[in-house]
Structure 1
Amino acid sequence: MKKIILAVCLSSIACSAISFESKDIPNKLKQNRNATNQYYTQLIQSTNSAQPRLAELSMLMTMLPKGGDIHHHYSGSIYAETYLDWVGQHGFCVYRESDAANKLEKFKVESRPAQIAAASKICLSADAIRKDVNFYRELISAWSVQDYEHQVHAQPAPDQHFFNTFGYFSGISKYSTNQGLQILKQQAKAENQQYLETMLKSAPVTDHPELASKIDSLHSLSSQSEMQQAFSQYADFLANDTMAQTKIRDFVKELNADAAGIDDAEFTLRFQTYVSRNSAPSKVFSGLYAAFAASHLNPLIVGVNIVGPEHGVVALRDYTLHMQMFAFLKQRFPQVRLAMHAGELKLGLVAPEHLQHHISGAVQIAGAERIGHGVGIMHERQADQLLAELKRRKVAVEINLSSNAFILGLQAQAHPVTLYLRHQVPIVISSDDAAVSRNNLSHEYFLFTSRYQPSYAVLKQTVYNSIHYSFLNPSEKTQQLRQLDQRFMQFEAAAAKLAASAKPK
């Protein structure tokens, strides 16, 4: 009888070999699945006991196949320590104090050669920062959420602190993007993750003052005809302008270079591109046009998004206008896929009327196929009907537990993840900005399982959702799902062995 030897190598767990007769494969796989289910159930149930087995659960979630991470911001996922390395490699510096007269800000990276020389007394090299233990600690805390809850001195609000970090390291984050993606790839593979769909770069903007002024005069209550006329004129200009088209082609080439050498047999990378929702309407529209056009040209760019604080003054003012822009461009580029940050809000953060239509607008007006965050669902107008619509349309909600807890204070049962599950709305677990949050995707799964105790079947389906609801094409999804099947077979074999070894003697 032929024997099957299955090599099991998961994350940092040592490889082991499992050997069994080929005729026994179905039974063995079922036994491993049942043993994994039982072990996992014991671990999550222990979280309610006096002796929770959190370390074991954390290890199991590290071993767990992750499928994909499909709500992911590149710049917020490179750890501060890596950015500091790049500051040193490029000969840049970081301000150790602010100079309001010269518009210099503490903790911000300086990349301009003239300014580096002129501000040498207050702008430190990477080596100097590492020698100054106190400032080094301050810097890591400013570029992430590390130590935030332990600080007692005056500090910005959590949401402001979180979004401030991007401004500090923006001077270095655009450098070494291929190197950064290689780092993220290795981190993902260490967590048993096979697919990454990241937001790396915003789409380029091309200005036309006269046409821009027409869009900038619009607002969310403007008539459909006014919007359509202004959008059409600007879109026609961008479609025929040599400079605009050159920018789009150059942008596509940049992303091709960024992705060079990343994909392999065990890992796949794709991009979303995006615009900032707190820019002037004309800049949002011009950037969105470029984003749609770039996605149309390059199969590596699988989707378009809109980012930035949703509670910003401009973002709130122009929300419906932005949704109409997406709807208009979706008609011109119908094959482009849309994920959208929507409902990253809570009661008290904004006036109540802004809580009532953001998720529904993203789905019903813009045509979003996935919703990022979606934590304001319970305050939406006719939320029960919206939940039914999300289920019917199979709109997946990207759950980002760590950032929702820090930015909005939504955690434990205040978070609507179980609401979505009860209404059979598909969810995916994602990392958002793991480096700013100082965690990883495994920890997001740990939070999901330890807090909400989903069954093993629900956990496994959630992992598979990250491929089912990705923006890969059908043949790529089929390939990824087969790979995920194999990874779960290996995981369950290793987990069954782990469960057996963990039993009391």
Structure 2
Amino acid sequence: MKKVLVAICLSSLALNSIGAMSSEEKISPSKLKQNLNATNQYYTQLIKSTNSPQPRLAELTMLMTMLPKGGDIHHHYSGSVYAETYLDWVGQHGFCIYRESDVTNKLDKFKVESRPAQIAAFANTCLSAEAIRKDANFYRELISAWSVQDYEHQVHPQPAPDQHFFNTFGYFSGISKYSTNLGLKTLKQQAKAENLQYLETMLKSAPVTDHPEFASKIDRLHSQSNLSEMQNAFAQYADFLAQDPAAQSKINEFVKELTADAADIDDAEFTLRFQTYVSRNSAPSKVFSGLFAAFAASQSNPLIVGVNIVGPEHGVVALRDYTLHMQMFAFLKQRFPQVRLAMHAGELKLGLVAPEHLQHHIRGAVQIAGAERIGHGVDIMHEHQADQLLAELKRRKVAVEINLSSNAFILGLQQQAHPVTMYLRHQVPIVISSDDAAVSRNNLSHEYFLFTSRYQPSYAVLKKTVYNSIHYAFLNPAEKTQQLRQLDQRFSQFEAAAAKLAASAKAQ
């Protein structure tokens, strides 16, 4: 017991030393090398013992919490704010949450109600935050509905894992866009607590402007349509959106909203940037109109660093229109050449969809749309000529955003079924990211714990993976240089603290 207490105290001192060390403090080159070697040896001891009768997983968890994270660049805002925080906001705004579903009145259990008339009309069945906290059973049900907590530990009628995961966003959608600046400040505090310096989050979808005539032409298209027919329809709608005062006003207001959301977030130790996005399960015309707005907004404001497409990739519409969507990206990339593209692609597995849908999604995102980063990419092994595609990803330096927790829950892909080690063996750059940490009930440190404990990368590979999160971030060159210098400094401080841990472990 005494040894455990000593180790805990020393660990606490090591954690504090990271924050306490002055940014001006210099460490000699020889000492830097000694700290690096000591950290490497200590880390290696921890991961190599994970298969022994007495694994050191608690120490590995602590080390991954201390680890500098660089950036989290596959991150959804609404899925990263914890349910407990959303419930606080429900109370602050005077909203309520339905205790039961009511088909007649179209009310859904666990869903936030923000309309005053509805709150008054259903006061008996729509509970305040205070009332929910007094009802321990319903409170537990709510947290479980708004996240994956308890899903695997309870035997009761429940939806499929992927459906449960995506359902959560509908429940708290009524509160997730309130207090976004406060929410971002909360996420910043959490990020800094686990040594994260850069966050690239997907906060809001881009606005849509309708035009019945041009929209109908795009809505008649499909993935097998003639390319010239696609481009003609795209061009007509794009020309309209570029000139329409209402469309331009929506885009300008959208940019102003995101600018306000980011107010007072950046500081010397933390930087926030946004990706904007569209839903891949909307009508083709809405996807195109939203993408136009997303590209225009991204090109006009440096806070909006990239464009993405989100939603269940195995949805009926998403599968039907996949190649059509990639052609939309390709068309708009020509009109807005400076815009950076990250793409949810290959978040599929055999059995979830028919085999033909596993053969071209990552390839289409890279070769047609021009994606610079791929989100998930877990069906790579099923892609047509996967070996050639892996070589192309390496050659093009397309980074794959690895989301271990959500891939395990939604798709059941974990341990050696996940292709992360295949990407590493083929020298395709990867980054570790959190995806929807609050829905998954974890954080980025835990994602690094899963990466290291399951796949046991060398310390050099781990460190390179962290640096990839800045190298492949959608920052301008000057910002990236600044972030890399800061990461260098953080690693020197981390390795100094880890060396003290290693020395204390030897002394026991």
TM range (shorter): over 0.9
1-structure distance, mates of 2:257, 2:102: 35
2-structure distance, mates of 1:472, 1:17: 28
Which residue number in structure 2 is paired with residue 430 of structure 1? 433
Which residue number in structure 2 is paired with residue 173 of structure 1? 176
Which residue number in structure 2 is paired with residue 421 of structure 1? 424
Deviation at 1:13, TM superposition (A): 3.5
Mapping 1:316-335, distance limit 5 Å: 316-335=319-338
Mapping 1:466-505, distance limit 5 Å: 466-505=469-508
1:214 is aligned, of 187, 212, 217, to 217
1:236–1:9 Cα change, 3 Å: farther
The answer to whether the Cα contact below 8 Å between 1:274 and 1:305 also exists between their aligned partners in 2 is yes
1:498–1:38 Cα change, 3 Å: same
Structure 1, unpaired ranges of 5+: 1-7
Mapping 1:87-486, distance limit 5 Å: 87-486=90-489
> What residue identity is the alignment partner of 2:178?
Y
> What residue identity is the alignment partner of 1:323?
M
> What residue identity is the alignment partner of 1:270?
R
1:228–1:37 Cα change, 3 Å: same
Count of residue pairs the alignment pairs up: 496
1:23–1:47 Cα change, 3 Å: closer
The answer to whether the Cα contact below 8 Å between 1:9 and 1:15 also exists between their aligned partners in 2 is no
Secondary structure of the residue aligned to 2:104 is helix
Secondary structure of the residue aligned to 1:218 is coil
Q: TM-score, normalised by structure 2?
A: 0.96
> What residue identity is the alignment partner of 2:223?
S
Secondary structure of the residue aligned to 2:490 is helix
Secondary structure of the residue aligned to 2:50 is helix
Secondary structure of the residue aligned to 1:98 is coil
The answer to whether the Cα contact below 8 Å between 2:399 and 2:430 also exists between their aligned partners in 1 is yes
1:40 is aligned, of 35, 39, 43, to 43
Deviation at 1:12, TM superposition (A): 5.5
1:17–1:104 Cα change, 3 Å: closer
> What residue identity is the alignment partner of 1:370?
R
1:379–1:16 Cα change, 3 Å: closer
Structure 2, unpaired ranges of 5+: 1-10
2-structure distance, mates of 1:84, 1:18: 37
1-structure distance, mates of 2:204, 2:436: 15
> What residue identity is the alignment partner of 1:363?
V
2-structure distance, mates of 1:23, 1:85: 44
> What residue identity is the alignment partner of 2:102?
D
The answer to whether the Cα contact below 8 Å between 1:11 and 1:62 also exists between their aligned partners in 2 is no
The answer to whether the Cα contact below 8 Å between 1:220 and 1:319 also exists between their aligned partners in 2 is yes
Superposed CA deviations along residues 189-238 of structure 1, whole A, max 9, x for unmatched, are 00000000000000000000111000000000000111011000000000
The answer to whether the Cα contact below 8 Å between 2:73 and 2:199 also exists between their aligned partners in 1 is yes
The answer to whether the Cα contact below 8 Å between 1:12 and 1:190 also exists between their aligned partners in 2 is no
The answer to whether the Cα contact below 8 Å between 1:323 and 1:365 also exists between their aligned partners in 2 is yes
Which residue number in structure 1 is paired with residue 6 of structure 2? none
2-structure distance, mates of 1:36, 1:296: 42
The answer to whether the Cα contact below 8 Å between 1:272 and 1:304 also exists between their aligned partners in 2 is yes
Secondary structure of the residue aligned to 1:100 is coil
The answer to whether the Cα contact below 8 Å between 1:278 and 1:314 also exists between their aligned partners in 2 is yes
Superposed CA deviations along residues 91-135 of structure 1, whole A, max 9, x for unmatched, are 000000000011100000000000000011110000000000000
1-structure distance, mates of 2:160, 2:123: 31
Which residue number in structure 2 is paired with residue 75 of structure 1? 78
Superposed structure 1 runs of 4+ greater than 3 Å apart: 8-19
Secondary structure of the residue aligned to 1:257 is helix
1-structure distance, mates of 2:225, 2:258: 36
The answer to whether the Cα contact below 8 Å between 2:373 and 2:401 also exists between their aligned partners in 1 is yes
Which residue number in structure 2 is paired with residue 4 of structure 1? none
1-structure distance, mates of 2:293, 2:136: 44
User: Identity rate of aligned residues, in percent?
Assistant: 88
1:79–1:298 Cα change, 3 Å: same
Superposed CA deviations along residues 61-94 of structure 1, whole A, max 9, x for unmatched, are 0000000000000000000000000000000000
Deviation at 1:48, TM superposition (A): 1.2
1:186–1:17 Cα change, 3 Å: closer
Q: TM-score, normalised by structure 1?
A: 0.97
2-structure distance, mates of 1:347, 1:228: 33
1-structure distance, mates of 2:474, 2:289: 23
The answer to whether the Cα contact below 8 Å between 1:11 and 1:191 also exists between their aligned partners in 2 is no
Superposed CA deviations along residues 347-378 of structure 1, whole A, max 9, x for unmatched, are 00000000000000000000000000000000
Superposed CA deviations along residues 363-418 of structure 1, whole A, max 9, x for unmatched, are 00000000000000000000000000000000000000000000000000000000
> What residue identity is the alignment partner of 1:394?
K
Secondary structure of the residue aligned to 1:106 is coil
1:503–1:106 Cα change, 3 Å: same
1:326–1:31 Cα change, 3 Å: same
1:339–1:17 Cα change, 3 Å: closer
